[in-house]
Structure 1
């Protein structure tokens, strides 16, 4: 039986010889685990067919993991197998093409070209006496009793379905073993909310744990499960709100949120919940290179925990102990904060963490009209509307995108905000008084994802624009002639390109998340591209001072194009992030007994099955794009990532793969197990086999369909890597 082609839907430098050998050994070991894991899933599938066939007396001529097809390129002929041996009447082997496996039974072959040959092989010759007794026309066809077609329909159905059943059973066992070891996961705890996103607009506060989303309820919900539920629910019913239950220290709060498109990928749905960061430093990177934290922390602080800050002890009894600390950190960006650290050896010591100086391009940036409001928030209650333009704060008209959050993030007194509403002749100026309210600020107010900046105390958000609001004195030209070639207030950036060579940049970047943005800067970031301006300003914080960028801007009123160079330089303002190398918040879910492990394994398998069915349903409705589909290369890459994380993640990956193979291999496509089952059902209903020629043509169509699908998903995998 063919297994379903491995779920087609679905710089490290060493400085010495020992380092090279260690690296190579690690890679070989990890890829070996990948091959072993995927091979095991294929093996148990084929073992199901094999054992069922043997139980009913069917002769099995081959048992292969991988396909042993002949491959020849010009005069070069490749071996068909990586190894094989004969035991009894069966040949066992590993095929050269690792895209599935098969059991070759007497009288059965999925290759339509060999169907007629197989049919002839199993027809038994009649002796002379039988030939005299019965005419040729009346003589019933006799088949080899050990052939697959000679068995009763119900027996063949069991043989065909046995592979899928084995995948379902072993999928449960893989997950049960994983939970027996203990599964490390990121809990579905709200570390923060994305500025301007649905969760932010609904006023959802950090510090709670999601225990129910849509139809999924779990007191120990994984963040990955929550995110997947939101994604699939959003894709399935983009206009329908998702129910959400969040447990806080004082009780459960319920919400109904409509998902929003991801700013950089409209097909991805989100509500804007960010996972929390713990108070434990990484054992590898205590602080981001070049940050203020790197000047006060040392390698001895690797793995240390923050146990107090400015004399306030961390309360570990809270659902999210880190919430008060991050609220304090981001609400006091200009303050030096004293941290008490407990190192891995049990000793404690204090460090003073000064503010982080920002890096800019010698200019201030304009702000957009107000883009979002918190429901029942301060601004909304005061009558502020989306689209209003802020022209002054307490009479100060010098407004820029990164000055505003610094002024308002820790405001305790009411402010007067002057707004312009409407355009042209309908434009009017209004003033509102906003009294700040307590609101947790557990993340920096700017969002790399949405590109928005949110002032939680006042409940409104806006975007920084690539429009120059003002120019710093040291960037102003000395004479009028040169001023025409330099940036001026009102200039609108159209493209910005990194021109400093890579050898002069930090390599690798302190935060790998920004490597694609630096690559985009190298190619040329355009104003109307998918990446928001705020992400570029944040990326600049990771570039060394003196980095040169080429800028193309347009100048009103005639739209004159200005080409100039700007330099990354230290600003007199501070940046919210200080470079602390803290790890993500993690928990361990471990089964307490064999029964508990099996229960958790069954739950995991059920969820993965539900994912597959939902994916297939959305695919038939046209809701799934090719970018969502992964082929063999994507599967191998994902398998390696899970193998690097440890035995439990790899076992959970094998559960997911087993469920995919079980369902996809049982689709009613000829040449797959599901296609064979459809033929058998038709035979059971009719009381006789289908016409062999019709069955052969349908099987050929199924093979061609699978081959075409393989070409598409392989091409999709390759394009994704380019």
Structure 2
């Protein structure tokens, strides 16, 4: 096809060493990007091969076969080569074009560049004959072939992409696909799964319209939830979980992401494994950092307090995580087996909470666990907690870090309503024994959940107490901005390796506490800073809004934090087909799902349910391809399946200059019994070319704006 027909990288719909020398790094990077180029090039090649083989089968002369476009590029006096290499075999020139944005097969008498259409039409007319008769065409030209033959030629590229996409997935599953199982590792406080009372350790076997599957991938589950949430945001999503021999069905209405409302979440986290990572197995300035050494890199936890972990459980590490989160004041003894087989025991001491001399208020209740202690006692969303067991000296973290004994009732005083209509009442709650494996603060930092009481609230920026010895802040002030002053370059760089340069710069320039920079995330970050780190606070004082600026220090408190700085790897598994037949079945399923995802995404894009900023182009494709290539051959093959199905559907859209546009013209010709008016075809093709160029510019700009 012509350069304007096949642009696989114009648009992709997006629903991811031991300090080697620079030579090794260069070779590794070069090999990685070589794999990326070969993979994407293969998808383009098989598409064009489909056109080429079909055209040759019907006797059409193919003058060029290119992966990439051989367009002339000149900047001032500098002329760039049109190709990276080419050769001629028989009547066809084969080559790799300098512009890696697609490929084309140039057939005699066919060119989608409107500027060359008339010239190409003249070139295939045979001389002689009656001037009034229809001009005779070169029998080896594309226009001279019958309509059904041209339809096969046009559709052959798409067919090849579908076939090879399924084959890519088939090979991947035959070889073995690494994946994270769809196991509930934990739930996000206040989220739909948390409100439904979903417990850690269950296996998700079905979600939305995905059929029951004991080997459901966590990423597949997330994609289904995201797609369903965008398409039908107000409808509940069916989720089926398996706990041992028990099947539990839930209907969860997804919540909007607070920063990106079009993204929908149900708040299920992936499973955590028993092994420590090879790097960053302990956060700096933590209890874990005090007892773990480099020899523990990659070690596996096999026992807690002398009791072996249940290796047959879906998530054996569950009791360890539960103890860390729910019993922050108790020491924990862990038995580790290192990569060389050596056993040793460590004791994780309680970790003191850090703050910067300010305590923050408890906001109104945001969510309740269905049937949980708080809901059973009559508490409602919007209620304000005033005191617990007579203690009115509450702040967001003192309430979160308090231990509530199971079976021992507590008295909670709440305020309901606003102003003169507000009423206060005291209710009795009986804490429940619930396994908790994740932080009681949501990953977005905007919600705090007390699992044993079944309630969640938002922290406020209202100062409830100032614990620093010297400060200009007062109770009732509103903290607006927190800025960290890093004076030790080495300590700063060690933090960059953990939380990234962007976060460090944000902390240095000023963390503006709000939806985009929640208080919960800030306080999590404070925990890894050294005691004594300088903190600059900007606050406003009601009612006049006077601006207060003061300097404080990171300090250790007498309270114990719900995390001790030990990190674990995610659970990994490999799905391998038992036979080629099963691999083919899994490959076919993968291909059908990816085709369905693209089609549904396009439908949501047209109806405005998906914002245009979620469209990605060549840069984002390269990023995704690089990430998947790093994960291994199978992951890269599944990415190529996704890319193939994207190309198949996008190229068959009824847009002039794409394969689908040509098929539309051919269908009209078959119905009418004669070709459409050539001038009209040319104008429509020209419009299609302009639209594709505009789209190309848009997705390039979109990629650059969202580059990370």
TM-score strictly above 0.5: yes
Distance 1:424 1:678 in 2: 66
Residues 450 and 260 from structure 1, CA distance in 2 versus in 1: closer, same or farther, beyond 3 angstroms? farther
- 2:385 alignment partner in structure 1: 390
Q: 1:490 aligns with which of 473, 476, 494?
A: 476
Q: 2:157 aligns with which of 155, 158, 163?
A: 163
CA displacement at 1:519 relative to structure 2: 3.1
- Check whether the contact 1:196–1:450 (CA below 8 A) recurs between aligned residues: no
CA displacement at 1:117 relative to structure 2: 0.8
- 2:688 alignment partner in structure 1: 702
Q: 2:537 aligns with which of 544, 551, 576?
A: 551
Q: 1:418 aligns with which of 409, 413, 418?
A: 413
Deviations 1:570-611 (A, max 9, x none): 222221111112101111101111111111111111111111
For 1:122-521, list aligned pairs within 5 A: 122-126=124-128, 131=129, 135-137=130-132, 139-217=133-211, 218-408=213-403, 412-472=407-467, 475-477=468-470, 486-501=472-487, 503=489, 505-509=491-495, 512=498, 516-521=502-507
- 1:79 alignment partner in structure 2: 81
For 1:47-126, list aligned pairs within 5 A: 47-126=49-128
The reply on whether 1:605 has 2:621 as its aligned counterpart is no
| Range with greater deviation from structure 2 (457-466 or 696-705) | 457-466
Distance 1:515 1:459 in 2: 37
- 1:649 alignment partner in structure 2: 635
CA displacement at 1:523 relative to structure 2: 3.1
CA displacement at 1:517 relative to structure 2: 3.6
Residues 450 and 361 from structure 1, CA distance in 2 versus in 1: closer, same or farther, beyond 3 angstroms? closer
Distance 1:367 1:177 in 2: 54
Query: SS of 2:402's equivalent?
Result: helix
- Check whether the contact 2:415–2:423 (CA below 8 A) recurs between aligned residues: yes
CA displacement at 1:644 relative to structure 2: 1.1
RMSD: 1.7
Deviations 1:619-658 (A, max 9, x none): 0101111221111111011111111111111111100000
CA displacement at 1:241 relative to structure 2: 0.7
Distance 2:149 2:542 in 1: 81
Query: SS of 2:168's equivalent?
Result: helix
Gaps (5+ residues) in structure 2? none
Instruction: Tell me how many residue pairs correspond in the alignment.
Output: 701
Residues 299 and 409 from structure 1, CA distance in 2 versus in 1: closer, same or farther, beyond 3 angstroms? farther
Deviations 1:258-288 (A, max 9, x none): 1110122111001111112111111233322
- Check whether the contact 1:497–1:549 (CA below 8 A) recurs between aligned residues: yes
CA displacement at 1:548 relative to structure 2: 2.0
- 1:6 alignment partner in structure 2: 9
Query: SS of 1:278's equivalent?
Result: coil
- 1:629 alignment partner in structure 2: 615
Query: SS of 2:274's equivalent?
Result: strand
- Check whether the contact 2:406–2:433 (CA below 8 A) recurs between aligned residues: no
Q: 2:661 aligns with which of 670, 675, 680?
A: 675
Residues 172 and 599 from structure 1, CA distance in 2 versus in 1: closer, same or farther, beyond 3 angstroms? same
Distance 1:6 1:501 in 2: 46
| TM-score of the aligned structures, taking structure 1 as reference length | 0.94
CA displacement at 1:119 relative to structure 2: 0.7
- Check whether the contact 2:495–2:504 (CA below 8 A) recurs between aligned residues: no
CA displacement at 1:555 relative to structure 2: 1.8
CA displacement at 1:546 relative to structure 2: 2.4
- Check whether the contact 2:12–2:643 (CA below 8 A) recurs between aligned residues: no
Gaps (5+ residues) in structure 1? 478-482
Distance 2:281 2:496 in 1: 11
- Check whether the contact 1:249–1:319 (CA below 8 A) recurs between aligned residues: no
| Range with greater deviation from structure 2 (441-450 or 431-440) | 441-450
- 1:539 alignment partner in structure 2: 525
CA displacement at 1:511 relative to structure 2: 7.2
| TM-score of the aligned structures, taking structure 2 as reference length | 0.96
Residues 631 and 508 from structure 1, CA distance in 2 versus in 1: closer, same or farther, beyond 3 angstroms? farther
Distance 1:158 1:664 in 2: 18
Residues 499 and 285 from structure 1, CA distance in 2 versus in 1: closer, same or farther, beyond 3 angstroms? closer
Query: SS of 2:411's equivalent?
Result: strand
